[in-house]
Structure 1
Amino acid sequence: MLPDRRRLLAAIATTGLTAPLILRGAAAQGTAQGLAKTRLQLGWIPNVQYAGEWVALEKGLFRKHGVELEWAPGGPNAPAAPVVLAAGRADLGYTSWFPFLDAVTRGNDFVMVGVVFPKSPLGIVSLAKKPIRRPQDLVGARILAQGAPEKTAIDATLAIAGLPVQWTQVPAGFSPEPLLSGQGDGYTAFSTNQVITLENMGLVRDKDFFFASFDELGFRTYGSVLAAPRAYVERNRPAVVGYLRGLIGGMQENERDPSLAPRLAVQRYGVDFGLDLKQQTRQNALQIPLTHYDEPGRPLLSLDRALMAGVMYDGARAAGRTNLPDVDRIADFSLVAEAHQGL
């Protein structure tokens, strides 16, 4: 089971997430000779979502490729990665598609260097008595949604489908329990998170409840976008490529042995956050398929120029984003390719 919000916030308080940046890494004594120190800002708490990083750290894969990784946790009280990047307190950071676009349009010279989840796990959970499985099911519905990104996703889904943007947002937290008590018709959730919570409650997917990803509803986005300031990439390209090589290796190892990363998250990297091994193991099993494109010939972490310039920009326009830059301005499509060539 996922830690409840009070337990999570207590863990955050004891680990200092409200501080500007807390860096953790494999070596406590600083950067080893000959290694490039790279500071990573996570987008969430250090759970199994970052399986690639934890396995790579455990097996020395970042160091193998010339990188000494330091990382800072995210969470509900932590600053967002674009904020940390803009302040110069991290070199790389995990964010989402729209927060990245919004940061760029506000004048930040950021560049996407890769994406962990080319298929976003964000979607809507609904119950059997009133399933939400198509965009038209959203019209007039009461949706428990956590914040602006979720609202944007629903608005864009309706706009793309040519439907009226008519629905009611009901404030929600990280637990699906308000859905079960009838406070809404649907609940914005992750297939790798709250879906597991419902399963652990004894509910059966596609019988007692349904999950429809926004990808399936017609609103295609990326999840876990890896971004960096352009100036950092230009000055430290070997370090960025080395980081990507280590991460690719960690992700590949995670597929070969999906039992290791959950243990590392629970027992080491996320030990302060009350993570549950059974839940983390299930999350890892669900997230591994999301790291691969449905379309063939696209390697791990790669960015798809046509996808971004096409349906993803269409979705951004439907969500009210205008004056979008050329995708080659906001993404470096060569970094992941170079990383794979060196493996």
Structure 2
Amino acid sequence: MKLNRRHALRLTGCAGAAAALAACAPAASRSSSTSNSLAMQLGWIKNVQFAGEYLAQENGHYRDAGLTVDLLAGGAAGTSTEAGIDTGKAWVGTSTPQKVAAAVERGVPVRIIGATLSSSPACITSPEGKPLRSPRDLVGKRVGVADNNVPTFEAMLTANGVEPSSVQVIPVQFDPSPLVNGEVDAWSGFTTNEPVSLRAKGFSTYSFLYSDFGMRMCAQVFVVSTQSLADDRAKCKSFLTAEIKGWKDAIADPDRAVTLTVQKYGVDQKLNPTQQRALLDATLPLIQTPDTRRDGLFTISPSLIADTVKTLGRTGSKVTAADLFDTSILTELYAENPSLR
């Protein structure tokens, strides 16, 4: 599939405007921080997908690593992680490989140093009573797709021999009600989101993962500037050590993770604890995989790196593994502290 400029812009989403402002920032704003206080830009609102960060804060893991961390909420209209790092608003953050790749291609000096999720939760969801089980089943169907995800969706179709024009894309936002109402036949979303929220409302669904059909990627990746990688390696290690411990705590005590999310960190979101627990339960298998059980949390295997770059290439990205990833921090960290595994 050949992407036109319209699709390239869709891939960057609203981050493009933020990056344009970032490009005007003085070079000094991109420098690494010598302070032990740092801001972390979360890739979304403060819900349970950042449970490890909350427990790293609550259980003193950041403090024990010599860090004071300010967790900045993200969201649809929030600052992108890449722009936040580029302008100095954030020292580290979480994002998606798609957004990082788009930023790198614009010249933003950032790299992925680890991944919370070893497998992307991106999926196609349909009603359980009318399940669509593969990309080929989408031919002639109406599929709800957020505008910034259209390039990835169409790339998934093309990778599976489906002509994108044979599927009717219906622009949607975040509320999957159109699927319930029959306005669309399927929904492009995440296994940790729409199927969970719809099941809580009594609407059963069937989902298939993008990763099972040629679009394997890591997700919820940690991003820092290239200058931090060069000048603040000890700080990067300290941060990742605290993160590993925080996520181990979340895995060991998901009930406390949900309570902290609902009652403290995400209290302004008025989150439903049952739904948040279901979201966390759906997320944990993407964090704990055979590879991460063997190599350690957040590690990204060479095959996963290769598949991520290949998937991005299907959307028109030209980034290489070296452009996008630097896993040397985690390699050194686990070599120096094998007990962290």
| TM-score between both structures, scaled by the size of structure 1 | 0.83
1:299 to 286, 291, 296: 296
CA apart distance, 1:140? 3.0
CA apart distance, 1:138? 2.4
Give deviations 1:218-251, integer Å, cap 9, x for gaps: 2111210111110122221111111111110111
Distance 1:267 1:219 in 2: 36
Alpha-carbon RMSD across the aligned residues, in angstroms, is 1.9
User: 2:324 matched to 1:337?
Assistant: no
User: 2:103 matched to 1:103?
Assistant: yes
Code of the aligned partner of 1:49: Q
Residue in structure 2 matched with residue 163 of structure 1 by the alignment: 162
Conserved? CA contact 1:156–1:316, under 8 Å: no
Query: What secondary structure sits across from 2:212 in the alignment?
Result: coil
Conserved? CA contact 2:218–2:304, under 8 Å: no
Distance 2:114 2:224 in 1: 10
CA apart distance, 1:165? 2.0
Code of the aligned partner of 2:160: A
CA apart distance, 1:50? 0.4
Distance 2:304 2:95 in 1: 18
Q: Which has the higher helix share?
A: 2
Query: What secondary structure sits across from 1:275 in the alignment?
Result: coil
Query: What secondary structure sits across from 1:259 in the alignment?
Result: helix
Residue in structure 1 matched with residue 219 of structure 2 by the alignment: 223
Q: Report how many residues are paired.
A: 303
CA apart distance, 1:266? 0.8
Residue in structure 2 matched with residue 289 of structure 1 by the alignment: 285
2:253 to 244, 257, 262: 257
Query: What secondary structure sits across from 2:183 in the alignment?
Result: coil
User: For residues 306 and 139 of structure 1, do their structure 2 counterparts lie closer, same or farther at Cα, with a shift above 3 Å needed?
Assistant: same
Conserved? CA contact 2:65–2:242, under 8 Å: yes
Code of the aligned partner of 2:66: G
1:41-60 aligned within 5 A: 41-60=41-60
Residue in structure 2 matched with residue 16 of structure 1 by the alignment: none
User: For residues 267 and 256 of structure 1, do their structure 2 counterparts lie closer, same or farther at Cα, with a shift above 3 Å needed?
Assistant: same
CA apart distance, 1:306? 2.9
Query: What secondary structure sits across from 1:123 in the alignment?
Result: strand
Code of the aligned partner of 1:202: G
Code of the aligned partner of 1:319: T
| TM-score between both structures, scaled by the size of structure 2 | 0.84
Code of the aligned partner of 2:328: S
Residue in structure 2 matched with residue 191 of structure 1 by the alignment: 191
Task: List runs of 5+ in structure 1 lacking aligned partners.
Answer: 1-19, 21-33
Query: What secondary structure sits across from 2:326 in the alignment?
Result: coil
Residue in structure 1 matched with residue 151 of structure 2 by the alignment: 152
Query: What secondary structure sits across from 1:74 in the alignment?
Result: coil
Distance 2:300 2:147 in 1: 26
Conserved? CA contact 1:123–1:191, under 8 Å: yes
Query: What secondary structure sits across from 2:238 in the alignment?
Result: helix
Conserved? CA contact 1:119–1:292, under 8 Å: no
CA apart distance, 1:163? 2.6
Distance 1:39 1:233 in 2: 16
Task: List runs of 5+ in structure 2 lacking aligned partners.
Answer: 1-20, 22-33
Query: What secondary structure sits across from 1:120 in the alignment?
Result: coil
1:322-333 aligned within 5 A: 322=318, 324-325=319-320, 327-333=321-327
Residue in structure 2 matched with residue 140 of structure 1 by the alignment: 140
Conserved? CA contact 1:45–1:74, under 8 Å: yes
Conserved? CA contact 2:46–2:265, under 8 Å: yes
Distance 1:329 1:78 in 2: 25
CA apart distance, 1:294? 4.4
Residue in structure 2 matched with residue 75 of structure 1 by the alignment: 75
